Amino acid sequence: MNLFLVFYFLLALVLWILALPYLLYKSRSTKYKDAIPARFFLKNNPKFENSSVWFHTCSMGETKSIAPLVGQFEDVNLTVNTNTGYEEAKKLTKNVRYLPYELFLPFWITKQKILVVMEAELWYMLFLIAKSKNIPTMLINARISNRSYNSYKKFAWFYKKIFTNIDYVFAQSDLDKQRLQSLGAKNIKVVGNIKLANLPKTTKELEKPNKTLICAASTHNNEEKLILESYKKEFGVLVIVPRHPERFEEVDKLIQSYSKKYNLTYHRYSQKQDFNSDIVLVDCMGELINIYAISDVVILGGGFENIGGHNPIEPAYFNTKLISGKNIFNQKALFECVENYSLIQSNQLKQTLEQIDKMKKSSLVQVGNIEPIIEVINRYNIKKKDK
């Protein structure tokens, strides 16, 4: 047996044992109560019974972005890492599992027609075991950011081992192709960012208020406070959509306190589904795209804290005036697909809103293509969905 494989497996076992107390503790939280038991203890997480095209994504955003691809085929299998990814995946197929920790993959993976992995999910055992079972493997929407490239190069020897077991790579850009080649990737084709192949669609038409609508989207802790302190009533209606549902009550209390202090009207969207207050908290899921469609300005969360930013494609598609903090290191590739946006420091938000009339509307500059990916998958006799 390969000595590196033995070492890697033993290391994975040691790390799992050391992490047990932490995993048991975190599994009690709402956010991880399903994902951790499924991934690290195989609770309610059986093997796939059928052999088909197997897609793997990380979380909700990646799962949403492959919907057009998954929708091409019947009876697909889909694995994810997170609770939100799991819920999104259930909308695409009934065959959804959490991807187990690498320690369990040799005993968990069953024969599939092809494995299609999204973006940076470069798990050594995932690709190795797939290839050992004669499963063709594919990495899609592959990219390596400026920030992470140096880290990748330091472990180039390790990534070369991973890429040995990847048959096809579909990269976002020529630069990504060059970087992937330097890490040992082969058979690379540039198809753009496939997240732009799934452009947003509204589910209903909302009534726009007769004022400027400012949507604070996918906000995180501390960002709501920053936005409220930068807001003035004369700017228009402020609609706040927190990233995580478990924070709705916390944000509600914050807005109530702020509204009372400055004599502003406020309501929760679940109580009155309109935007006829100074501030509205959207405390339900599935409305953000519909709100983008009527927004004049979007303050995109995740960039004012050290989160890495959020997807700018959706607000740019609706030609909003787009503002984000500068911490967008997880979304640089998507921001490269957008024209006309403002990346600012936290202390610049109020001034930016005061000068919003001078900003240009954002727009998209390029779209990805999933057809070359579909063409390769079709080589493995995958049953296509009837249209």
What is the pLDDT confidence band of residue 1, given thresholds at 50, 70 and 90? low
Place of tokens 């975190």: 26
Name the packing angle between helices 3-26 and 124-132 (round to 10°). Answer: 130
Residue ranges matching CATH 3.40.50.11720 in the chain:
3-199+369-380
208: three-class secondary structure by DSSP: coil
Cβ distance 194 to 373 under 8 Å?
A: yes
CATH code, 213-364: 3.40.50.2000
Percent of the chain clearing pLDDT 90 (strictly above): 81
pLDDT at residue 387 in the model: 57
Q: How far is CA 81 from CA 98, 101, 103, in A?
A: 6, 10, 15
For 131, half-sphere exposure in the C-beta direction (CA atoms, 13 angstrom radius) is 16
Of 118 and 84, the structure prediction assigns the larger pLDDT to: 118
Tell me the mean pLDDT in the region 207-226.
Answer: 97
- Left, alpha or beta for 187 (phi > 0: left; psi -120 to 50: alpha)? left
Tell me the C-alpha distance between 322 and 325, whole Å: 11
CATH architecture, range 3-199+369-380? 3-Layer(aba) Sandwich (3.40)
pTM: 0.70
Residue ranges matching CATH 3.40.50.2000 in the chain:
213-364
pLDDT tens-digit map of 318-367: 999 999 999 998 787 678 789 999 999 999 999 999 999 999 999 987 67
pLDDT at 266 over 70: yes
DSSP symbol at 24 = H
Cβ distance 109 to 130 under 8 Å?
A: yes
